[in-house]
């Protein structure tokens, strides 16, 4: 063994000697891994460290009363279940390293080197250091002479300083209620010391110090920071006997306020407390959806006061996702939580809408917290994590939908990965998001509900995105009610003296117009969409004063001073740091983005790298704007269209016009095709890749009504129980083809990207879906199962095309959502599967939108899947249509 390794072993042996109390109490032989390394068997050292770590974690499991029997658990499970009870990031990382090394050695056939063995022992020392230096009763056992509450406080304060890089040098239990602690750390070439004396009352400490002649006060250690920490600092604490004995070297503080000597959370929350940020709060109704951890069933609880509901959930250490449309009061509620001292002892607030997409949350949080640190600014994030894991903190993450790198389930999972350390089971995390991004995404909805209901596919996706499923906590979803007007709309309408119940776009537009008119710059409004609307599509929401000067010109400032006060847009903006601003509400910039798209920006937006940043609110604003008149010729024109689900909106191009069938292919039309089939059920129009033994005759044993294709009363019903190969062949027989999924969605949504063919307003009378059979909205799977899957499902089925006159797209195409899914020509990863669109009679209304898509095997046939055809428009076809 090399001299370097020998020296490192010697140092490790010396450090392990500091933890004999843990070793003696738990019966651990800390020398054995070192002996294995010394004998040249690093793989044995790694295995022994794994065994020692298991013993430590089993003790930790029992100490915290974790449910279950730890004696039968392996290291992986022990680490997973004990992690929520470990406050130190260093310990968590050390355990992960030990687990990884042990797994590589035991299961992966990895060759273990001396370096691996040394690392395993070093990480074991890191674990032991934490529990020894904090005096944690979890592994050390309790101090027999110390009051339990005092012991907990000592452990917390010690953990605080260990997190800041100190080591505990001395600790004396002076009485059951009084403890002396001394911490030390290296700072360059010098040593820094912190001395703490913790007691319940000043009189108790005074008595203890007097009995020892004040010996502890006469230290000669350099650079000493000295604190006396008391439960109750009386009026005479700075003038009474204790102060006279201590002298001027000590600061006397209350225990509850001691953390303020290290990080001033009021400074961190100062912007929320400022008059500019304060918003009047009105009572907002809400509903909370949670999942029973045992049955997996969703429960919905109504509340007339969302603030009270949130406060109760947070007090119970629940994780909460608050959803609601723009202006519904989400940020106001979250800010009120963050500044309320009655909610939690430590409170943090982060606006993820202002976090640069490429900046990890750890760096963003550290940057925001650094100004609040008394010193040690480089350890701001470590301190934040320690307080979060203490179980006494609240972390508010506002606008989480704006902070995700990519607005999709995969992007959300990556955000969870970045926030994994924050999502502690001990403290409360409250997030806010627009309704559609999280609450209405089935995958993310399932992710947030509970671990028990997760599908294997979702679990695999989580692993693929680097997320440990066990590390994703359960969230209660609080959906803010949608009254006639939101708090934002009410506030602006009152300020602008507008008539009641104006659309949000009109209210924001009026505020922009009046602001510029009052500043004498009405001419600027015509330039805002191209400036800020385009910026939003490139995911840019924060601007410096120099940016405003460059984008809008010198006239954007009333004086030569580049400041918020001098900016003509000041009433629309809010400060973000010393020299940057953002719009006071994201909806302002989203309105400008919608205007930009409506005016002339679609071609430019289509060229944005990685795709334009489109939110559901941009789409909603665009859908409410006057657009080209609706047609009735079933022609999908060439152009740029908004497509995709709410959490992943995209701009896509249709290069050539397409003529759609007005109705899905009916039984009567398909019967003519059946008459032209060969005896074996195939045809001359078959796809060249059609598998053998495929027949185009309907799958009659699956039909709800066996005489469906023979009884004339079904002639106007859609052709169902028809596989993809048959749909393809029929289209060729009819001189047409199947639409692509892009063409289908564009034809259903129109140029404005609407949610339903008729617009954005849900209408269960306009569509054949589960809601229309049940007679009320179907919100959860449990509601679908209880209300629809029984009697309603037996009654439900497809209905004749054209029966619901309002189910009409802007181009005159009928029944594009609900009734039955429709085949498209699009395949994704598996050529044996194809995309189906539109939803069917057995789906709830929320799942039969113009963006609704699914995957179905091409050989499959279902009562809920039909199809329609399209025809490419050529010059001759246009002439024929004109003549007709």
Query: Residue 239: is its pLDDT beyond 60?
Result: no
User: Kind and range of the H or E element at 724?
Assistant: helix 724-733
Is residue 31 a part of any domain in this protein? yes
Is residue 616 a part of any domain in this protein? no
Is residue 222 a part of any domain in this protein? yes
Quick check: 169 and 196 in contact, CB under 8 A? no
Low-confidence winner among 140-149, 355-364, 403-412, 535-544 (lowest mean pLDDT): 403-412
Full domain range(s) for residue 131: 3-138
Low-confidence winner among 416-420, 477-481, 482-486 (lowest mean pLDDT): 482-486
In DSSP notation, 75-95 reads: HHHHHHHHGGG---HHHHHHH
**Same domain, residue pair 507 and 585:** yes
CATH code for the domain of 734: 3.90.1580.10
**Same domain, residue pair 367 and 474:** yes
CATH code for the domain of 299: 3.40.50
**Same domain, residue pair 289 and 400:** yes
Domain end residue (candidates: 76, 108, 138)? 138
Q: Which residues contact 166 (CB under 8 A, 6 or more apart)?
A: 183, 184, 185, 192, 194
Task: Determine the Cα–Cα distance for residues 512 and 525; give it in Å rounded to an integer.
Answer: 8
Query: Residue 879: is its pLDDT beyond 80?
Result: no
Instruction: Taking each helix axis as running N to C, give the angle between helix 114-133 and helix 3-16, from 0 to 180 degrees, rounded to the nearest 10.
Output: 20
Q: What is the pLDDT of residues 653-711, one digit of tens each?
A: 999 999 999 999 999 999 999 999 999 888 999 999 999 989 999 988 888 888 999 99
In DSSP notation, 458-497 reads: HHHHHHHTT--GGGS--EEEEEEP--SS-HHHHHHHHHHT
Looking at every residue in the chain, the average pLDDT score rounds to: 84
Q: What is the pLDDT of residues 40-93, one digit of tens each?
A: 888 899 999 999 999 999 999 999 888 888 998 989 889 888 887 888 888 988
Task: Determine the Cα–Cα distance for residues 124 and 530; give it in Å rounded to an integer.
Answer: 58
Beta strands in 176-270 (DSSP E): 178-187, 190-199, 224-230, 250-254
- The reported pLDDT for the residue numbered 445 is 47
Task: Determine the Cα–Cα distance for residues 411 and 433; give it in Å rounded to an integer.
Answer: 14
Average pLDDT score over residue span 379-404: 89
Answer with the residue of higher pLDDT: 342 or 131: 131
Give per-residue burial for 234-271: e unless 16+ CB within 10 Å, then b: eeebeeeebbeebeeebebbebeebbeebbebeebbeb
Residue 563 has which token pair? 């400041």
**Same domain, residue pair 371 and 441:** yes
Average pLDDT score over residue span 440-464: 44
Average pLDDT score over residue span 587-599: 92
Task: Determine the Cα–Cα distance for residues 267 and 302; give it in Å rounded to an integer.
Answer: 36
Residue 661 has which token pair? 């069938």
| Helix segments in 502-647, DSSP class H | 504-518, 525-528, 534-537, 545-552, 586-596, 602-606, 616-624
Give the chain's domain count: 5
Residue 856 has which token pair? 């179905």
**Same domain, residue pair 339 and 235:** no
Cβ neighbours around 607 below 10 Å, total: 9
**Same domain, residue pair 244 and 291:** no
Answer with the residue of higher pLDDT: 139 or 208: 139
Task: Determine the Cα–Cα distance for residues 728 and 673; give it in Å rounded to an integer.
Answer: 12
Task: Determine the Cα–Cα distance for residues 498 and 501; give it in Å rounded to an integer.
Answer: 9
Give me the half-sphere count of Cα atoms (radius 13 Å) on the Cβ side of residue 853. 23
Is residue 651 a part of any domain in this protein? no
Query: Residue 453: is its pLDDT beyond 50?
Result: no
**Same domain, residue pair 58 and 70:** yes
User: Kind and range of the H or E element at 286?
Assistant: strand 286-291
- The reported pLDDT for the residue numbered 24 is 92
Query: Residue 456: is its pLDDT beyond 90?
Result: no
Task: Determine the Cα–Cα distance for residues 751 and 153; give it in Å rounded to an integer.
Answer: 63
Q: What is the pLDDT of residues 695-752, one digit of tens each?
A: 999 988 888 888 999 999 999 999 999 999 999 999 999 999 999 999 999 999 999 9
- The reported pLDDT for the residue numbered 688 is 94
Quick check: 703 and 863 in contact, CB under 8 A? yes
Average pLDDT score over residue span 629-656: 89
Residue 2 — pLDDT band, cuts 50, 70, 90? low
Domain end residue (candidates: 102, 118, 138)? 138
Q: Which residues contact 192 (CB under 8 A, 6 or more apart)?
A: 166, 184, 185, 186, 223, 225
Task: Determine the Cα–Cα distance for residues 160 and 384; give it in Å rounded to an integer.
Answer: 10
Place of tokens 């939580």: 337
Task: Determine the Cα–Cα distance for residues 590 and 402; give it in Å rounded to an integer.
Answer: 12
Helix, strand and coil in the chain, % to nearest 5 = 45, 15, 40
Is residue 609 a part of any domain in this protein? no
Best-predicted range by mean pLDDT among 305-309, 444-448, 458-462, 822-826? 822-826
**Same domain, residue pair 769 and 865:** yes
- The reported pLDDT for the residue numbered 108 is 56
Going by the DSSP 8-state scheme, the letter that residue 284 receives in this structure is -
High-pLDDT (> 70) share of the chain, %: 86
Is residue 43 a part of any domain in this protein? yes
- Numbers of helices and strands, H then E, in the chain: 37, 24
Q: For residue 108, with 0-12 CB atoms within 10 Å meaning exposed, 13-18 middle and 19 or more buried, which class applies? A: exposed
Q: Is the dihedral of CA 22, 23, 28, 32 positive or negative?
A: positive
Cβ neighbours around 466 below 10 Å, total: 12
**Same domain, residue pair 232 and 286:** no
Is residue 606 a part of any domain in this protein? no
Is residue 629 a part of any domain in this protein? no
Quick check: 729 and 669 in contact, CB under 8 A? no
Quick check: 596 and 530 in contact, CB under 8 A? yes
Task: Determine the Cα–Cα distance for residues 98 and 118; give it in Å rounded to an integer.
Answer: 11
Task: Determine the Cα–Cα distance for residues 54 and 60; give it in Å rounded to an integer.
Answer: 10
- The reported pLDDT for the residue numbered 458 is 44
**Same domain, residue pair 780 and 717:** yes
Average pLDDT score over residue span 371-389: 91
- The reported pLDDT for the residue numbered 332 is 86
- The reported pLDDT for the residue numbered 450 is 39
- The reported pLDDT for the residue numbered 708 is 94
**Same domain, residue pair 184 and 235:** yes
- The reported pLDDT for the residue numbered 451 is 35
- The reported pLDDT for the residue numbered 613 is 84
Task: Determine the Cα–Cα distance for residues 546 and 536; give it in Å rounded to an integer.
Answer: 18
Q: Which of 449, 439, 438, 444 is nearest to 474 (CA)?
A: 449
**Same domain, residue pair 566 and 472:** no
Reading phi first (left if > 0) and then psi (alpha if -120 to 50, else beta), residue 459 is in alpha
- The reported pLDDT for the residue numbered 250 is 80
Q: What is the pLDDT of residues 274-303, one digit of tens each?
A: 655 555 556 777 777 666 555 555 566 677
Query: Residue 448: is its pLDDT beyond 60?
Result: no
Task: Determine the Cα–Cα distance for residues 779 and 300; give it in Å rounded to an integer.
Answer: 10
CATH code for the domain of 53: 1.20.120
Domain end residue (candidates: 109, 138, 167)? 138
Instruction: Taking each helix axis as running N to C, give the angle between helix 380-389 and helix 89-106, from 0 to 180 degrees, rounded to the nearest 10.
Output: 80
3-state secondary structure of 687: coil
Quick check: 544 and 573 in contact, CB under 8 A? no
pTM over 0.85: no
Task: Determine the Cα–Cα distance for residues 565 and 2; give it in Å rounded to an integer.
Answer: 68
């Amino acid at each position: 063994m090399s001299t370097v390794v020998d020296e490192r072993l010697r140092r490790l042996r010396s450090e392990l000697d500091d933890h004999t109390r843990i070793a003696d109490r738990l019966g651990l032989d800390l020398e054995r891994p070192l002996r294995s390394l010394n004998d040249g068997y690093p793989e044995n050292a790694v295995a022994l460290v794994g065994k020692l770590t298991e013993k430590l974690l089993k003790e930790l499991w029992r100490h915290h009363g974790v449910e279950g029997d730890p004696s039968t658990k392996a290291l992986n499970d022990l680490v997973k279940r004990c992690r929520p009870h470990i406050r130190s990031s260093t310990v968590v990382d050390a355990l992960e390293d030990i687990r990884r090394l042990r797994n590589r050695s035991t299961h992966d056939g990895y060759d273990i080197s001396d370096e691996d063995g040394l690392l395993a022992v070093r990480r074991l020392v890191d674990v032991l250091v934490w529990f020894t230096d904090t005096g944690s009763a979890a592994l050390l056992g309790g101090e027999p002479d110390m009051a339990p509450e005092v012991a907990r406080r000592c452990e917390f304060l010690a953990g605080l300083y260990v997190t800041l890089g100190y080591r505990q040098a001395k600790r004396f239990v002076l009485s059951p209620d009084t403890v002396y602690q001394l911490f030390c750390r290296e700072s360059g070439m010098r040593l820094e010391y912190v001395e703490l004396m913790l007691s319940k009352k000043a009189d108790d400490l005074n008595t203890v110090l007097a009995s020892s002649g004040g010996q502890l006060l006469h230290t000669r250690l350099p650079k000493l920071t000295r604190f006396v920490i008391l439960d109750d600092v009386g009026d005479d604490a700075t003038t009474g006997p204790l102060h006279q004995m201590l002298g001027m070297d000590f600061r006397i503080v209350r225990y509850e306020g001691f953390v303020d000597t290290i990080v001033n959370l009021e400074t961190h929350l100062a912007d929320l407390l400022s008059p500019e940020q304060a918003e009047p709060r009105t009572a907002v109704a809400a509903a909370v959806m949670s999942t029973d951890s045992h049955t997996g069933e969703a429960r919905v609880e109504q509340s007339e006061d969302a603030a009270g509901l949130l406060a109760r959930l947070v007090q119970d250490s629940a994780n909460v996702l608050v959803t609601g449309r723009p202006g519904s009061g989400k940020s106001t509620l979250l800010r009120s939580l963050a500044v309320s001292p009655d909610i939690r002892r430590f409170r943090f607030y982060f606006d993820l809408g202002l976090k640069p997409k490429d900046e990890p949350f750890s760096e963003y949080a550290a940057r925001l917290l650094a100004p609040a640190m008394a010193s040690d600014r480089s350890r701001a994030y470590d301190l934040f994590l320690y307080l979060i894991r203490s179980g006494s903190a609240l972390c508010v993450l506002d606008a989480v939908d704006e902070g995700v790198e990519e607005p999709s389930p995969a992007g959300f999972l990556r955000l969870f990965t970045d926030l994994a350390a924050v999502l502690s089971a001990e403290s409360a995390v409250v997030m806010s998001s627009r309704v559609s991004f999280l609450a209405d995404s089935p995958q993310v909805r399932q992710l947030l509900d509970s671990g028990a209901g997760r599908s294997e596919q979702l679990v695999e996706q989580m692993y693929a995105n680097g997320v440990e499923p066990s590390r994703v906590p359960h969230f209660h979803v609080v959906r803010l009610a949608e009254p006639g007007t939101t708090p934002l709309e009410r506030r602006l309408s009152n300020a602008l003296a507008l008539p009641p119940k104006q659309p949000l776009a009109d209210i924001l537009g009026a505020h922009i117009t009046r602001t510029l008119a009052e500043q004498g710059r009405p001419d600027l409004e015509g330039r805002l969409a191209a400036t800020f609307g385009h910026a939003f599509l490139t995911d840019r929401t924060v601007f410096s004063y120099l940016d405003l000067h460059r984008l809008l010109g010198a006239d954007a400032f009333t004086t030569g001073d580049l400041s918020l006060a001098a900016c003509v847009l000041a009433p629309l903006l809010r400060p973000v740091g010393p020299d940057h601003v953002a719009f006071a509400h994201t909806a302002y910039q989203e309105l400008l983005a919608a205007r930009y798209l409506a005016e002339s920006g679609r071609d430019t937006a289509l060229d944005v790298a990685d795709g334009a940043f489109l939110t559901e609110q941009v789409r909603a604003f665009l859908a409410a704007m006057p657009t080209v008149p609706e047609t009735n010729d079933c022609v999908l024109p060439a152009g740029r269209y908004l497509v995709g689900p709410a959490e992943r909106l995209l701009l896509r191009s249709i290069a050539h016009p397409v003529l759609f069938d007005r109705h899905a292919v009916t039984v009567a039309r398909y019967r003519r095709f059946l008459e032209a089939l060969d005896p074996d059920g195939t045809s001359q129009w078959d796809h060249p890749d059609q598998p053998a033994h495929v027949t185009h005759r309907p799958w009659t044993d699956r039909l709800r009504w066996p005489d469906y294709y023979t009884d004339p009363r079904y002639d106007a019903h859609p052709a169902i129980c028809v596989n993809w190969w048959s749909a393809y062949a029929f289209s060729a027989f009819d001189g047409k083809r199947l639409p692509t999924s892009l063409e289908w969605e564009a034809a259903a949504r129109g140029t404005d990207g609407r949610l339903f063919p008729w617009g954005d307003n849900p209408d269960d009378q306009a569509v054949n879906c589960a809601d229309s059979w049940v007679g009320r909205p179907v919100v959860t799977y449990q509601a679908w199962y209880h209300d629809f899957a029984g009697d309603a499902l037996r009654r439900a089925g497809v209905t004749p095309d054209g029966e619901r006159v309002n189910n009409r797209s802007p181009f005159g195409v009928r029944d594009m959502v609900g009734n039955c899914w429709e085949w498209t020509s699009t395949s994704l990863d598996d050529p044996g599967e194809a995309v189906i669109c539109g939803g069917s009679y057995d789906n709830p209304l929320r799942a039969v939108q113009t963006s609704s898509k699914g995957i179905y095997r091409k050989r499959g046939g279902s009562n809920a899947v039909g199809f329609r055809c399209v025809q490419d428009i050529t010059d001759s076809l246009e002439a024929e249509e004109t003549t007709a």
